Amino acid sequence: MEKRTLGRTGLEVSVLGMGGLYVSSAGARGRDEACRAVHRALELGVNYVDTAPNYRDSEAVLGIALEGVTQPYFLATKLGGRPQPFNPQDKYLLRQSVDESLRVLKRDYIDVLLVHEPDRPGQYDWWTDYDNFHGPVCELLEELKAENIICFTGLGGTTAYQLPPIMATGNYDVVLTAFNYSLLWREATIAIFPEAERQNMGLIVGSPLQQGALARHYPEIETGAPWLSPPRQQQFQRLYAFLDEIELSLPEAALRMMVATPQISTVLMGARSVEEVEQNVRAVEA
């Protein structure tokens, strides 16, 4: 599988990465099937795996699946949502979360540790100084790096416009953006892509199928979908017609577009089974 450099980290990562949400109880048909999916992804050249404490039991599943694996891979997890009640201003509790990640992942270090949802004040209030985007988490990340517990730091967000000012601090090595770049959604190109280039940050894109909107043809979009604006509905209809004409599936087109974007280091697939892993890999290697 094609490898790309993850920004200033220098890591050579597979263009297709493994998103950890759906190997958890949120999506997989049991832990055995989830582990088989992870193993198959590694066999096919995937070497970047992403998870988070609030992806249900994803960290625990990956800890089981990756135990004893000898081929090189990179593992990313996040800070956010644990322990409960979660307090992003308590550095001691944040360190507890990292310790728990290490325990369930069965690791003694983490390749990339991301701050989860730093761009959504009110969900996780990470910053005590909003002018400079500074808070206890910044101090903790520096300490963890100095202790060789983490190798690189990152941001994992879902907004198109609140994330770039945090990126502009220059304090983070990678950025993960979800829901803002796909076949029909391009908001990330306005500010996230340019800021990632300015900061030489590795650029990771999540949810390439736009939370399922691009996973298949939806007949109701052809006949009328009141939850979509008329311009968006017309976009879908034109896309469906074009893909029918060239005989290409919607998920395959979505993934091909992602990997054809040179600024992106890796795209996280949400595969939950061996079959889905193989389908996604075929799409990007076609």
Strands (E), 63-124: 74-79, 110-116
- Residue 179: which CATH number? 3.20.20.100
Residue 229 lies in a domain: no
22-27: long-range contacts at Cβ-Cβ below 8 A with a sequence spacing of 24 or more? Answer: 22/270, 22/271, 22/272, 23/58, 23/61, 23/62, 23/65, 23/271, 23/272, 24/55, 24/56, 24/57, 24/58, 24/61, 25/56, 25/57, 26/55, 26/56, 26/58, 27/270, 27/272
| CA atoms in the 13 A half-sphere facing the CB of 273 | 6
Residue 92 lies in a domain: yes
Residue 223 lies in a domain: no
**Number of folded domains that form the chain:** 1
pLDDT, residue 77, reads 99
- Write the single-letter amino acid at 261: T
| CA atoms in the 13 A half-sphere facing the CB of 243 | 19
Residue 33 lies in a domain: yes
Residue 115 lies in a domain: yes
239-242: long-range contacts at Cβ-Cβ below 8 A with a sequence spacing of 24 or more? Answer: 239/183, 239/184
pLDDT, residue 157, reads 97
Q: Which residues pair with 154 in a beta bridge?
A: 114, 174
In tens digits, what is the pLDDT along the chain, a chain of 286 residues?
999 999 999 999 999 999 999 999 988 789 999 999 999 999 999 999 999 999 999 999 999 999 999 999 999 999 999 999 999 999 999 999 999 999 999 999 999 999 999 999 888 999 999 999 999 999 999 999 999 999 999 999 999 999 999 999 999 999 999 999 999 999 999 999 999 999 999 999 999 998 888 888 888 887 777 888 889 889 999 999 999 999 999 999 999 999 999 999 999 999 999 999 999 999 999 7
pLDDT, residue 99, reads 98
pTM: 0.96
pLDDT, residue 224, reads 74
Distance CA 110, CA 233 (A): 42
For residues 23 and 65, is the Cβ–Cβ distance under 8 A? yes
Instruction: Give the domain extent around 20.
Output: 3-216+250-285
Residue 101 lies in a domain: yes
